[in-house]
Amino acid sequence: MTVNDTILREVRTALEHEPRIRTHHNAIHLAICDGALMVEGEVDNIAVKRVALEQVRSLNGIHETVDRLRITPGERKGDGAVRDALARFLLTEGAFLYYAIHARTKGEVVVLRDLGAQTQGSITLEVQDGIVTLSGTVGSLSHQRLAGVLAWWTPGCRDVSNELRVTPAESDHDHEILDALRLVLEKDPLVHADQIRADSREGVVTLHGFVVTAEERKMAELDTWYLLGVRDVVNRIQVRQ
């Protein structure tokens, strides 16, 4: 058995022993190419994707990981429909009212909003095969995270590559994650944000509170996973009828 075979066996074992991944249901394919571990497949939701990647990256011998895990969307949509829906989200989001918004399609950049001298930031969106790429500059880590969550919320989105730069640069801390989480939960119409509280320690976010349905409990957890910098989510929200 080669070194690569040993590494792949250890990775598969780690994934199989993580109950949140459900490897019998979520097909995750592994391969080693030029020393990098390729992680591919389509999984149920963002939580499965993030947990799988964290499991892989925590193992000894894994020095580089190539993430090609995609999310199975609630509804399949063409790239144009995904792009248009996300553009509407960004154009109507109050946090981005003074941001220039552009869309890249077929190699061309289309100006959706240009405020000239009033511009406080710029976001360019691109969609290929359901994968959203965000680029440009934003004024805060919260704006960077919010733009990413709006992309994840877009119907038909299969993955998000958030390449937005924060200018001027800010130091990231747990309280930055919690600030963004509060903003996101308040914007999610499926979640009663006032009934949920959270704390974070080195990117591990613990959710507390009470909700009336299991679906709302799940949505609050997924919203948390969508945020950049979150390493794990401990969901202690209780469902009370």
137 and 184 housed in the same domain: no
234 and 202 housed in the same domain: yes
- Total-model pTM: 0.94
pLDDT at 5: 84
pLDDT at 241: 72
Q: In which domain, by residue range, is 20 found?
A: 3-71
pLDDT at 26: 87
pLDDT at 1: 65
CB 164 within 8 A of CB 144: yes
Q: Is 116 left (phi over 0), alpha (psi -120 to 50) or beta?
A: left
How many domains does the chain divide into? 3
99-119 burial, b at 16+ Cβ within 10 Å, e below that, comes to: bbbbbbeeeeeeebbeeeeee
99 and 115 housed in the same domain: yes
Q: What angle do CA 7, 11, 17 make, to 5 degrees?
A: 145
Q: How far apart are CA 221 and CA 190, in angstroms?
A: 12
Q: How far apart are CA 8 and CA 6, in angstroms?
A: 6
The three-class DSSP label of residue 127 is: strand
CB 233 within 8 A of CB 220: no
Ranges in the chain, pLDDT < 70: 1
89 and 120 housed in the same domain: yes
pLDDT at 62: 77
Q: Find the Cα–Cα–Cα–Cα dihedral 18, 21, 24, 30, rounded to 10°.
A: -90
pLDDT at 58: 83
160 and 88 housed in the same domain: yes
